[in-house]
Structure 1
């Protein structure tokens, strides 16, 4: 794969060091089914159960080492949207800051959890602290454990997107210890969570969503090529795929970062080409790895903070 041509129609300039601030947004949509009234072409999905897990990180089975920096506030709630299970959450506020803060909701990747973004592998809270210490407007980070749900309704009755919207956000707003405002939020996600952040942005729309920043979003353009872990059936894919939904992002600022050797690069570039106006699209050498995601976090935090402060 090769980095996208900066002059290609539908994409912003593609150097990570000169990211454009594209404006994107959405009116509230009741679902993500295709807007066309035409009958969909019958497609038989391929059998992919034996295919390598191309969007997965190794399962995190041991306690994570949380990097030093702003302390985490953690807790849990019983989530009806997640089948009645205890759902853990974590919040980081920058140190040295008081008062009510806006929040960026973090949606995690497959086989990770609510603490992964704060672990020594990524340290998003330390990137945020440096951003605030440089004199920029502060905000908080908040994540909830979505398990392997993929942020849409599944046949097992769980729906992590509904958990975020109907349970987690109200909890954040009503918890006096956290002192957070959710009237206007940012969204951040990587891999599975990148897809999830885009889907939630489309559901909420502007002005509720101030900005979205995603890394390596798990997107499949080919309806024969999605894995069962992401969608339960062809009908599920057709109802929840983001392809064909780019018009929902016309007024929400959006930054997409993806390594040029990432397995989702082609699909992500194809999806971004349908955005009008174009998103900020940043790429450089790198793959579907923590190393790449950590390298772009400063730009992601700056993009989210700048748009939240408007």
Structure 2
């Protein structure tokens, strides 16, 4: 019985059997250290919407920033995760509280990219919406600097942040990808999130791991919890990157506690990049 129980526990631990999240919680693997945060509450994000031809619908957006004075402000695009939205994106990792207490020279800007994994589909192009519609709107409607931007993303948005660097490299100043939801192959993607990719060919075009060499020289950081279910695929990506040191594994799971824990260092990195 002891051998059988031990074998079952090992299968759960390697996500062969269900229950890995419960096991991780019980073993303290999700106990990412809470960050020290400024006491002052930030102002609520500004919101708006626009008509997107790239997405074929009205797209909502949200903005959060540090006090600007007379400084021109740059942009950090915030890419939300699956099932999330712009307001949740700008609030992830305590970014608004950190920005409100800092002199960060940028606005955190999030637009609704839907659940299509940020890459182009036949009738929906959320990544094209960000770079060809949303950024020009931020310049014309809000007076922001959009010539070169940073990108931050969480989960599906972390994958989208990496894909944006590959697709719009000349416009990217820095990328901060948190817990990027990267799959090992098309079959893995179909098993976990059916519809994320339209076909094997669609997967092949947008597989960031296969294109890892193209990220050479790009200012980049990837943060992920060691107990995150996407950690094995991110390790595979790390091993193919020209500079594997941009990937950091620390205690945590695929949740807000982990994203809060790395938020302060990410905002510091973004501030330096956009200064």
TM-score, with structure 1 as normaliser? 0.71
Structure 1 residue 250 corresponds to structure 2 residue 216: yes
Structure 1 residue 145 corresponds to structure 2 residue 112: yes
Structure with the largest fraction of helix: 2
Structure 1 residue 140: deviation in Å? 1.1
User: Which position in structure 2 is the counterpart of 1:296?
Assistant: 262
CA 1:70–1:251: 2 relative to 1, 3 Å: farther
User: Which position in structure 1 is the counterpart of 2:179?
Assistant: 216
Q: Helix, strand or coil: the match of 2:225? A: coil
CA contact (8 A) 2:152 2:176 kept: yes
Of 181, 191, 194, the match for 2:145:
181
Give the total of aligned pairs.
Answer: 236
User: Which position in structure 2 is the counterpart of 1:100?
Assistant: 72
Structure with the bigger RCO (C-alpha within 8 Å, sep 6+) is 1
CA contact (8 A) 1:71 1:93 kept: no
**Cα-Cα RMSD:** 2.1
The C-alpha deviation readout for 1:129-186, integer Å capped at 9, x for no partner, is 2332xxxx5211100011112111224x1110111111111111111xx221011110
Structure 1 residue 80 corresponds to structure 2 residue 53: yes
Structure 1 residue 96: deviation in Å? 5.0
User: Which position in structure 2 is the counterpart of 1:194?
Assistant: 158
Unaligned runs of 5+ in 1: 1-50, 55-66
Q: Helix, strand or coil: the match of 1:193? A: helix
Structure 1 residue 264: deviation in Å? 0.5
Of 94, 112, 131, the match for 2:102:
131
Could you tell me how far apart the structure 2 residues matched to 1:163 and 1:142 are?
A: 13
Q: Helix, strand or coil: the match of 1:224? A: helix
TM-score, with structure 2 as normaliser? 0.80
Structure 1 residue 169 corresponds to structure 2 residue 135: yes
Could you tell me how far apart the structure 1 residues matched to 2:266 and 2:211 are?
A: 23
Structure 1 residue 99: deviation in Å? 3.0
Unaligned runs of 5+ in 2: 1-17, 22-39
Structure-to-structure mapping, 1:8-47, within 5 angstroms: none
Q: Helix, strand or coil: the match of 1:180? A: coil
